[in-house]
């Protein structure tokens, strides 16, 4: 959770060229000592809190929480904002989603917040997929939008498993194979756009190459795979990961949030740069959401 929030906060000031950077500056993100996060972190924290309380994805509860806690200063996409406002006014999330996105949204909004699902259901791949599909469909019901949420949830679970199973006795370092990680993710994909990009990711040579081959915009099948690739390329150094994401460009806050969440799942909070982590907005709130999620998972296993 800390890796996701820190990536989000560090990536946001670099998004979208001058116009995007100016917009974040107006919203108070990207200047001053405090590292402020965006809607990516806010929605992920709300998801973690709902999971911790219910022990499952309760779609009705989740939609209402997202609507109640929506903060317009966090940079919500216009479609998601409109959808959640309808929920706030009493519409069901199903009706609101169909009204705003008749074909379903295939943006990366479901992927950006999916890490808590990967953490909570890391032990059960089938339950993970069902939970990610349901949570995604509340706001991003297009098959590509749903698959983006599933991909990042699965990637988070795989990163956590690598941390648990791959620790070497000497020095405590973690054995992590980026190629094997990408191959395993591809095996579980159901959408050809994701399968093709995950295969192409293994051949990417540079950030510019990643932007050209995979994409770096708000579409789920572009930025979610780019985030996974960035993590695989820089899985042992958070600052290098952020440099890679900034060099890729595009939707940098969301790509950095997804990649940062994967980094945190693999390396843990001690691997995050303390000089930046100490400046993270509401750090204690983010940590508390992670602890509650872990305690709820542990209780579900007893």
Q: Domains, the chain, ranges and CATH?
A: 2-301 (1.10.4080.10)
* 84 pLDDT more than 70: yes
Q: How far is CA 198 from CA 63, 195, 224, in A?
A: 30, 5, 10
Residue by residue, DSSP assigns 223-291 as: HHHHHHHHHHHTTT-HHHHHHHHHHH-SSHHHHHHHHHHHHHHHH-GGGS-HHHHTTBTTHHHHHHHHH
Give alpha helix (H) positions in 12-142. 17-26, 39-54, 59-68, 78-88, 93-100, 109-112, 115-120, 125-137
User: pLDDT grade, residue 26 (50/70/90)?
Assistant: low
The span from the CA of 219 to the CA of 226, in Å, is 11
Residue 3: Cβ within 10 Å count: 32
Of 22-26, 33-37, 125-129, the range with the highest mean pLDDT is 125-129
Closest alpha carbon to 148 in 161, 135, 159, 158: 135
Q: Could you report the per-residue pLDDT of 198-245, keeping only the tens digit for each?
A: 999 999 999 999 999 999 999 999 999 999 999 999 999 999 999 999
Q: Give the pLDDT confidence of 285-294 residue by residue, as tens digits.
A: 999 999 999 9
Q: Is the pLDDT of residue 169 over 50?
A: no
- Percent of the chain residues topping a pLDDT of 70: 92
Residue 16 pLDDT > 80, yes or no?
no
Torsional class of 28: left (φ above 0), alpha (ψ -120 to 50), beta (otherwise): left
Residue 170 is predicted with a pLDDT of: 40
Residues 127 and 123: their CA atoms lie apart, in Å, by: 9
166 — pLDDT class (breaks 50, 70, 90): low
């Amino acid at each position: 959770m800390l890796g996701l929030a820190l990536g989000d906060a560090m990536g946001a000031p670099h998004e979208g060229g001058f116009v995007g950077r100016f917009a974040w500056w107006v919203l108070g993100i990207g200047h001053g000592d405090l590292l402020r996060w965006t809607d990516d972190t806010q929605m992920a924290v709300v998801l973690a809190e709902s999971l911790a309380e219910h022990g499952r994805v309760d779609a009705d509860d989740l939609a209402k929480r997202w609507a109640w806690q929506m903060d317009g200063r966090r940079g919500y996409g216009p479609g998601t904002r409109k959808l959640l406002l309808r929920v706030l006014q009493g519409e069901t999330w199903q009706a609101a989603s169909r009204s705003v996105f008749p074909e379903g949204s295939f943006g990366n909004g479901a992927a950006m917040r999916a890490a808590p699902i990967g953490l909570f259901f890391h032990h059960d791949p089938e339950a993970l997929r069902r939970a990610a599909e349901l949570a995604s469909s509340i706001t991003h019901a297009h098959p590509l939008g749903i698959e983006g949420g599933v991909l990042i949830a699965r990637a988070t679970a795989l990163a956590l498993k690598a941390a648990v199973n791959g620790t070497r006795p000497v020095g405590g370092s973690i054995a992590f194979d980026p190629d094997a990680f990408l191959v395993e993710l591809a095996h579980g994909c159901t959408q050809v756009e994701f399968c093709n990009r995950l295969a192409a990711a293994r051949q990417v040579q540079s950030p510019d190459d990643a932007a050209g081959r995979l994409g770096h915009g708000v579409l789920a099948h572009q930025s979610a795979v780019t985030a996974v690739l960035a993590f695989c390329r820089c899985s042992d150094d958070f600052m290098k990961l952020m440099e890679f994401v900034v060099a890729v460009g595009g939707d940098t806050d969301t790509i950095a949030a997804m990649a940062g969440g994967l980094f945190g799942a693999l390396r843990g909070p001690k691997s995050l740069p303390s000089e930046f982590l100490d400046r993270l907005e509401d750090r204690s709130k983010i940590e508390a959401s992670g602890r509650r999620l872990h305690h709820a998972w542990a209780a579900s296993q007893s």
